[in-house]
């Protein structure tokens, strides 16, 4: 089973109104679903028919709504009950306006030492049957910046490969524990290394302990830099749609590749096809299945630099 961990789980609420007018009241259409990057990865793996377990923190009544949505979605999940309430993210979408969506992201809970101990116990238990551990997203307040490093060390002790999708201090502090794959986007990669070149930035992360670096490059695709070589996967078309969460789809495909030991060029092509097909759908964790099959035949993988 592929195990995903979401430490900063969210209830993603979307309000749709014709037009938002500050200082007035609105009657939005409301949809909500459980969110957070690890949950999005788990949704994608579930839709692919893969055996997946989503471990997520849930606190208070927001946490109960998150659990309810995961049950409805038929996802196998394990809650780690935490003391403070899980966060909500509220996105306001305007149908009669070309304005971008407006987001309100709550700061989220502060985890206690007991919460963190319970997370670790839950992950250790799940590692017994895990083929890959997926660690995605920001760290909630209260956790040490090397929290991902601690979980990676537990997985590596049990010979479970780990894919890490994090940024900033949560990424840098986890490298020494030796993640199998890290998946920053180009901005995150340049931000943590201070470098402006993909190759030299990835050398920095690999020298610090990452076994392989896969940089996601938006419409330009993906670049993998590994001990076996470097490859670029080029999407066939630039998909129009919702690029938020495309990185999570790429991580889902890379997790499958890691679980099955697929050769890098194939693994990268699959990640490019699946993430491009995800851009075509509005909701996180969903993808256009027909487009995925079509893109899978069209992605080009070579050794040349992207762009």
CA 90/CA 87 separation, integer angstroms: 10
Interacting residue with Mg ion among 247, 257, 265, 285 (CB under 5 A): 247
Binding map of ligand ATP across residues 174-213, x = CB under 6 A, - = no contact: -----------x----------------------------
Interacting span for ligand ATP (CB under 6 A) from 15-23, 107-115, 117-125, 218-226: 218-226
- Of 202, 220, 200, 199, the closest CA to residue 211 belongs to 202
Q: How far is the CB of 247 from Mg ion (least distance, A)?
A: 3
Pick out residues in 220-259 that bind ligand ATP (CB under 6 A).
221-222, 235, 238-239, 243-248, 250
| Candidate list 11, 162, 198, 276; residue touching ligand ATP; CB under 6 A | 276
Beta carbons within 10 angstroms of residue 268's beta carbon: 27
User: Judged by CB under 6 A, does residue 272 bind ligand ATP?
Assistant: yes
Q: How many CB atoms lie within 10 A of CB 255?
A: 32
**Is the CB of 69 or the CB of 165 nearer to ligand ATP?**
165
Q: How far is the CB of 165 from ligand ATP (least distance, A)?
A: 7
Which is nearest to 72 in space by CA: 80, 64, 82? 64
Question: Residue 281's binding partner, choosing from Mg ion, ligand ATP, none, with beta-carbon cut-off 5 to 8 A by kind?
Answer: none
Burial class from Cβ neighbours inside 10 Å (0-12, 13-18, 19+) for residue 35 reads: buried
Q: Where are the alpha helices (DSSP H) in 163-303?
A: 168-172, 186-193, 198-207, 246-260, 264-279, 289-298
28 near ligand ATP, rule: CB under 6 A: no
For Mg ion, the nearest residue by Cβ is 247
Which residue, among 26, 167, 12, has the nearest Cα to 104 in the 3D structure?
Answer: 12
Size of the site for ligand ATP (CB under 6 A): 21
The SS3 assignment for 263 reads coil
What is the three-class DSSP state of 32?
strand
Stretch that binds ligand ATP, among 54-62, 65-73, 145-153, 269-277 (CB under 6 A): 269-277
* 14 HSE (CA, 13 A, CB side): 13
Sign of CA dihedral 31, 280, 277, 238: negative
Of the pair 168, 218, the CB lying nearest ligand ATP is at 218
- Measured from the CB atom, the residue of 8 and 239 that comes closer to ligand ATP is 239
- State the minimum distance, in angstroms, from the CB of residue 190 to Mg ion: 14
Task: List residues near ligand ATP by CB under 6 A.
Answer: 185, 216-219, 221-222, 235, 238-239, 243-248, 250, 272, 275-276, 279
């Amino acid at each position: 089973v592929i195990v995903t961990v979401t430490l900063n789980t969210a209830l993603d609420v979307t309000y749709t109104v014709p037009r938002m007018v500050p200082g007035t009241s609105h009657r939005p259409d409301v949809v909500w679903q459980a969110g957070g990057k690890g949950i999005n990865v788990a949704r994608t793996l579930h839709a692919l028919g893969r055996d997946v377990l989503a471990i997520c923190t849930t606190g208070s009544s927001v946490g109960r709504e998150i659990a309810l949505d995961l049950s409805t979605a038929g996802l196998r999940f394990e809650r780690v009950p935490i003391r403070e309430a899980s966060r909500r993210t509220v996105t306001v979408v305007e149908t009669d306006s070309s304005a971008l969506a407006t987001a309100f992201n709550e700061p989220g809970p502060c985890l206690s030492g007991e919460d963190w101990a319970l997370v670790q116990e839950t992950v250790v238990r799940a590692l017994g049957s895990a083929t890959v551990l997926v660690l995605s997203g920001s760290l909630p307040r209260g956790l040490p910046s090397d929290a991902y490093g601690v979980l990676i060390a537990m997985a590596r002790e049990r010979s479970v490969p780990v894919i890490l999708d994090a940024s900033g201090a949560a990424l840098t502090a986890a490298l020494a524990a030796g993640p199998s794959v890290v998946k920053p986007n180009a901005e995150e990669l340049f931000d943590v290394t201070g470098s402006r070149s993909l190759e030299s930035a990835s050398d920095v992360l690999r020298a610090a302990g990452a076994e392989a670096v896969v940089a996601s490059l938006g419409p330009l695709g993906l670049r993998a830099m590994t001990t076996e070589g470097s490859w670029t996967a080029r999407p066939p078309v630039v998909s129009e749609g919702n690029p938020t969460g495309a990185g999570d789809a790429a991580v889902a495909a890379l997790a499958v590749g890691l679980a099955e030991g697929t050769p890098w060029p194939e693994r990268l092509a699959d990640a490019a096809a699946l993430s491009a097909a995800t851009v075509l759908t509005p909701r996180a964790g969903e993808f256009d299945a027909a487009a995925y099959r079509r893109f899978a035949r069209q992605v080009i993988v070579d050794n040349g630099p992207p762009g």
